[in-house]
């Protein structure tokens, strides 16, 4: 069974044809929409490629159970979800939601 512990192993996996095909299936299944936004009643869809420009990355296909800990689920469609960049970063702990100030008093 393959392992995905090192950056090199992960890069090899994410560049594989099997992953690219499964990733596309997940995007199609999720209608190219962030599933977290959808639960919140919002819509975040993928960007459209403009000729002569690099396509803006709006959506990621995320492993619900990370491949580092669950390598058997790396190529299981039910383990994938489409998330916008923001919600993917929140899920991975890379963005912390701002807390409201303790007091909302005017400053003098």
32 near 45, Cβ under 8 Å?
A: yes
- To the nearest whole number, what is the mean pLDDT of the chain? 88
DSSP state of 65: S
Query: Distance between CA 10 and CA 77 in Å, rounded?
Result: 18
- The pTM score is 0.78
Distances, alpha carbon 106 to alpha carbons 101, 102, 103, in Å: 12, 12, 9
User: pLDDT tens-digit profile of 82-96?
Assistant: 999 999 999 988 876
User: pLDDT tens-digit profile of 41-63?
Assistant: 998 888 777 888 887 788 999 99
Q: What is the CA radius of gyration of the chain?
A: 18
Distances, alpha carbon 63 to alpha carbons 22, 23, 34, 75, 83, in Å: 11, 10, 13, 9, 10
């Amino acid at each position: 069974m393959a392992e995905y512990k090192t950056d090199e192993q992960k890069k090899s996996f994410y560049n594989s044809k099997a992953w690219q095909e499964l990733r596309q299936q997940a995007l199609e299944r999720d209608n190219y929409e962030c599933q977290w936004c959808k639960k919140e009643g919002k819509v975040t869809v993928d960007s459209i490629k403009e000729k002569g420009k690099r396509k803006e990355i709006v959506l990621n296909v995320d492993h619900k159970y990370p491949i580092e800990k669950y390598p058997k689920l790396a190529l299981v469609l039910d383990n994938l979800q489409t998330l916008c960049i923001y919600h993917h970063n929140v899920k991975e702990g890379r963005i912390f939601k701002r807390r409201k100030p303790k007091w909302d008093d005017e400053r003098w």
